Each structure stands twice: as C-alpha cells, then as structure tokens.
Amino acid sequence: MVTTLNETVKRPAGDSGKGGKRLNKKKSKAPIFIVVSLFLIIAVALAAVYFWASGYDDKIYPNVQIAGIDVGGLSTGEAAAKLEAEFSKLGGNVELSYGEVVVAISRTDAGADIDIAALCEQAYNTHRADNTSGGVFAVVGAVFDKVNITDIGADINGEIVDKFVADWIKKASSEPENYSVRIVNEELRFSVGKPGVKFDGEALVSEVQKRLNAADFSEIDVMNFATVTEPKRPDIDGMLEGIYAETQEAHYELVDGEVIVTESQIGVNFDVEAARSKLETATDDFAIPIVRTEPDNHAEELKAALFRDVLAESTTTLNKYNYNRTGNVRLSAGSINGTILMPGEEFSYNKTVGERTVARGYREASVYVSSGIEDQLGGGICQTSSTLYMSVIRSRLEIVQRYNHAYTVVYTPLGEDATVYWGSVDFRFKNNHDYPIKIEAFQEDDYVTVRILGTKLDENTIKIINVRHSFDQYQTIERENPELNYGTRKQEVEGHSGASCTTYAIIYDKDGNEIERYKLADSRYKRLDRVIDVGTKGAPVPSPEPQEPPPLPSQEPLPSQEPLPSAEPVAPSAEPTTPSAEQAEPTPEPTPGTEG
C-alpha cells in the first residue's frame, strides 16, 4: 500500500509510538533535497550562460540590429564597418516628376547625418546592465529577445525638404489652358486645351521626409497629391449660334405700298457633330471646315427683274362727253392705279375702289338692273373693271370671282366683261406668279387703259378667243307717248341682243406652237328689246270727211314716218374655230343691278 506523507500510519496494539517518530524524521528531509537540486541546476545554468556571455565581453550581443542590419556578435569596430558599407547603399534620391519638371533630393541633400559610432555603442550596451541581478536577466534576454534599433539619428532637415518641394510645386503647377477657336482661311481652328494642376505641398513634404527617413527611393505617384482642373471646352452650340447664318435669297416685301428689296445673305455653317467628336478625342490642334453657301440671286438682280415686263395692256373706248359716266370711270381707274399684289395675294375690285359716294366724287350714270337700264350713283365703273379683267386674263392671273353683265356691253369683246356692284357683286383675282405685279390704270380723252406689269419667266404668248353658242336679236318696240310733241321719236331703252359664249385662253411657245388651251369662263346675256317713244302731243285732229263712196282701189294711204336709227350692239369679233367648244353653263346674274 502506497501512502502519501500526509496519511496517518496505524500503529499495532502495544506500540509505544517511537517507531512513528523515526518515520517523520525521514519524511522532513525530502523537500530539502529537491530545493538543493533545483538550486544546483540553476547555478550550473547561470554559470553556463555567464561562460557563454564571457565570449561577448567586447562584442555586441546576438539578436541586435541597427536599421534592420544584423550587428549581433560583432565588435563595435566590426559593426561600424558593416554599417558604413550598408549605409553607403542609401545614397539614392527621392524624385518628384510631373511632365517635364523633374527634381531629386538625396538624404545627404536633406541634411541627414548618421553617427555610426554612437549607434554601435548603443548596440553594444543592449542587454548589458551595471548591477549583477540585472546583468543576469540581461544576458538571458540576449538569448531570447531580438532588438532592432530604428532610430539611427539621421534627422532630415525639414526646412530643406520644404524648400525642395515648394520649388518643385512652383514649376510643376499650372492653371488650366482652355480650348481656343479661331477662324482662319475658311476653317475653324481649335487649339486643344491643357488641364491645370495644383499639388498639396504639406502632404507631399510629409511623403518626401518619410521616404528619405526610410531610404525608400521608389517612385512617388505625385498625382495622388494633385488636384487637376480640366480645361474649359468651347461651347459648340454657342459657336454655331454665333457663326451660323442661313442662306437667304434676295427678297422683297411690300411696305406702305412700296416694294422693298432686301439683300441676299451667304449661308455659313460647319459640321457640328464632327467638331464635338474631335473635341472628345483630339490630343492635338485640329480644324473643321466652314461651309459657305452662296444664294442664287442678289438684290440688284431682283430689283432689275421687278415690274420689268408688261404682262398685258387693254384699252376700251367711251364717250368722253358723257361727263358723269366718264368721271366715274376716271375715279375708279385712279383707285386701282399703282396697286401692287405680292405673290399669292388676292385683289378685290370693290375693296380697292371703295364705296361709290357723292362725297368721294361719284355721280349718277347708267347702270344695268334686272328690269333694264337706269341711272345710279357710280354708273360706268364696270368699264374699268372689265378693262382690268381683259388684262388679267391675258396676264394669266388666277380668277377668283367674276360675273358677266346681265346684258352685253359695247366696250369689250363678247365674254370679256366683268361687272361689279357695291355690297354684292365683286371681281377678284389672285397673283399666282412668282413675282409681284403692279396695276397701272388711267382714263384719258375717250378711252380707259389698264396695264399690268410683272416679270415674265418665259417667251410664251397668249390669245383669247370667244366661242358663241347662241344669239337672240333684240326687237324694236314703238309706243305712243302723249307727253312728247307730235312728230318726236325718243329711244327710251337701248336694245341689246341676247347671247351665250365660252371664253378660252390659248398659249403659244416662242415658235408659235400651241402648248396649252384652257377655259376661262362661260357667259350668258339676256335680250333687252329696244323701246322707242313716239310723241302724240299736238297731233292734228282729222277733219270730218264728206260722205263719199269708199276710195277707189287705186288710192294708197299716206306713208308713216320712219323710226329713228338706233345704235346696234357691236358684233363680236370673228373668233377662230376651236376644236371642241364646251357646253355653255349658266352664269349667275348679279342683283339688284350692275354699275356698267
């Protein structure tokens, strides 16, 4: 049975206990033996360490480094030689480079001064102590502890580094150079801009010092310390707005009744998309061509073309001694004289002439009404409108509205009249030419003339023909008038024969070949019989005749008085035969009358 020192030993009966006392004496000697053994082991170990350490009396303990250079086991002299060799490798430069601005600074330039002897002395004293107990632990620490002396005392002169970095920043920094554009020899010449760059001096100084202290001569990425400002690119849309000009032909406009010609303009443009694309990718200056577009005509040419040609001229005759009617014709001709119609503009006879009033100088003269002919204010102005119509159709202008008279007129060919009446019947046409037209109208002596000026673009000619479909000769009616003296004959109603016709325009080229034929209008005129009043006032009373046998058969009655001759309607001029005369269509009759 195994027991521990603390177990109780059971004595046999009758044992005095002395044997137990001897057992206790043996038990108390065991701890002393253990302690002594441990002390001897430690003493031997320390002796061995001291014996080992005695080999380093003039040497640096192992596991000691200076700036990562192992100097353990070396004397201070050997360590100094090694440090000199290693530190000579630290002669590199810290470089700052941007573009063409490159500068470098070495540790020596930065004022670094290493005291190698002091470093070696510091390394030698590592793990050594003045007192014995401390020395023991120091020697043990030299075996198990590694020491690296990083503070080598190579202080960098901050002022030198500050100046070095500041000088470099001054040369390397720049303001952005914006893109520029010039117009040279019909080109837009773009100068590519350059970015501006500024550097963080404080951060860069800190980095250089750190690199110098650590002898780290690897490349510094200076852009990590830079702020770049991109150059301002030109505003292409703004340039286009400043350069672009639309090609404009010389043109005209009507201002206060006068045609004003505006000069032409050369068009200016450039390829906007090409400019944008180049701006995104170009590293060198480039050019974009300017495109100029010449107009087809100029102001001087246009001025020379305006109203240079007489498109048509028509003249009709009148009785200049019929003062009221002639005066009305003169007033209406003056109203339309000088009228200018721009392309696409419409002319209204009533609007242009205006209302016929006494205040404006108009007088009463014969007009056509549904029941015949009577005097009304403005009578006769239909001769002006009809003469205008004759020129309009010969100028190939577009007829918008035209009515023929109720009865034929003597001053125009059949089918070439145009009646008007204020407030109801108008004559309107449109300028369908490419150039303005101008109306010239005047009344002189026994005629009225209407001329249309414009610009002819071809050498074609026009001929107007009228194809008559029917003719109804007027009759002469005599009626007794007791208010007229016996033997007097007076025409009360002028006779007009009825008729219907179609008016055509035929176009011929410069060689006289027919190239076009079109219908202008259908016209239908009513018949108006001639009325002659025969005076019966004061007629002799026949005396009573004697009662005689009837007269002999040979007796003849007295001849009656012949009627006065009256004006016959002017027969239409001979018309050329047309291949296909269109069926005449009814023409609305103006109401209540016409100022013809």
User: What digits encode the pLDDT tens for the residues 337-374?
Assistant: 999 999 999 999 999 999 999 999 999 998 888 777 88
pLDDT at 594: 64
The alpha-helical segments, DSSP class H, found in 320-470 are 323-336, 349-353, 381-394
- Kindly list the distances between the CA atom of residue 434 and the CA atoms of 2, 246, 307, 426, in Å, as whole numbers in the listed order: 142, 22, 12, 25
> Who contacts 351 (Cβ-Cβ below 8 Å, separation ≥6)?
426
Encode 26-37: b = buried (16+ Cβ within 10 Å), e = exposed.
Answer: eeeeeeeeeeee
Report the alpha-carbon distance of residue 374 to residue 527 in Å, rounded. 16
Share of the chain above pLDDT 70, in %: 81
Q: 194 or 595, which is more confident?
A: 194
Length of the chain, in residues = 596
Reading phi first (left if > 0) and then psi (alpha if -120 to 50, else beta), residue 504 is in beta
Q: Considering only CA atoms, which of 372, 386, 366, 283 is closest in space to residue 319?
A: 366
Per-residue DSSP letters for 31-75? HHHHHHHHHHHHHHHHHHHHHHHGGGTTSPPSSEEETTEE-TT--
> Residue 278 — very low, low, confident or very high, per pLDDT cuts 50/70/90?
confident
Return d(Cα 151, Cα 468) in angstroms, integer: 131
Helix 158-172 / helix 201-213 crossing angle, nearest 10 deg? 130
Digit-coded pLDDT (tens) for 288-322: 999 999 898 888 988 999 999 999 999 999 999 99
Confidence of residue 243 (pLDDT cuts 50, 70, 90): confident
Least Cα distance to 231 among 181, 168, 162, 273 occurs for 181
117 - beta bridge partners? none
Q: How confident is the model at residue 19 (pLDDT cuts 50, 70, 90)?
A: very low
| Centroid of chain to Cα 81 | 83
Please say if the pLDDT value at position 3 is more than 50.
Answer: no
The pLDDT of residue 465 is 97
Report the DSSP pairing between strands 530-537 and 476-485: parallel
Neighbour-count burial of 240, counting CB atoms closer than 10 A to its CB (0-12 exposed, 13-18 middle, 19+ buried):
middle
The predicted structure's pLDDT at residue 41: 84
Q: What is the pLDDT of residue 545?
A: 67
> What is the rounded CA–CA span in Å between residue 383 and residue 405?
11
Record the tokens describing residue 324, joined without a space.
């009221």
pLDDT at 372: 79
Pick from 89-103, 340-354, 444-458, 493-507: least confident: 89-103
For position 550, what pLDDT does the model report?
60
In the predicted model, what is the mean pLDDT of the chain?
A: 83
pLDDT score at 326: 96
Instruction: Give the pLDDT score at 552.
Output: 55
CA angle at 316 for the pair 312 and 319, rounded to the nearest 5°: 160
Mean per-residue pLDDT, 478-492: 91
Instruction: Give the pLDDT of residue 51.
Output: 65
Residues pairing with 64 in the sheet: 147
How high is the pLDDT of residue 560?
A: 40
pLDDT of residue 152: 72
Q: Minimal CA–CA distance to 467: which of 332, 578, 308?
A: 578
pLDDT of 400 strictly over 90: yes
* DSSP per position, 292-332: EE--S--HHHHHHHTT-EEEEEEEEE--TT-HHHHHHHHHH
> pLDDT tens digits for 32-84?
878 888 888 877 776 666 666 667 778 888 888 887 898 888 888 888 898 87
Predicted TM-score (pTM) of this structure: 0.57
Residue 25 has pLDDT above 60, yes or no: no
- The secondary element (H helix, E strand) that includes residue 105 is strand 101-106
| Residue 90 structure tokens | 């630290």
Lowest mean pLDDT among 13-27, 90-104, 229-243, 503-517: 13-27
* Element (DSSP H or E) covering residue 242: helix 236-243
Does residue 555 register a pLDDT over 90? no
Long-range contacts from 88-96, C-beta under 8 angstroms, 24+ separation: 90/215, 92/215, 92/217, 93/217, 94/208, 94/211, 94/212, 94/216, 94/217, 94/220, 95/217, 95/219, 95/220, 96/165, 96/168, 96/172, 96/204, 96/208, 96/220, 96/222
Q: How confident is the model at residue 447 (pLDDT cuts 50, 70, 90)?
A: very high
pLDDT tens per residue across span 426-435: 999 999 999 9
What sign does the CA torsion over 315, 320, 322, 323 have? positive
3-state secondary structure of 19: helix
Q: What is the pLDDT of residues 169-195, one digit of tens each?
A: 999 999 998 988 888 888 899 998 889
Q: pLDDT band for position 140 (50/70/90)?
A: low
Q: What is the pLDDT of residue 336?
A: 97
- Find, among 328, 437, 460, 443, the residue nearest to 391 by Cα: 437
Least confident of 158-167, 222-231, 584-593: 584-593
Q: How far is CA 111 from the centre of its chain?
A: 67
Q: In what order do the strands lie in the sheet with 428-430?
A: 346-348, 428-430, 398-401
Q: Is the pLDDT of residue 554 over 70?
A: no
With bands split at pLDDT 50, 70 and 90, how would you rate the model's confidence at 229? Answer: very high
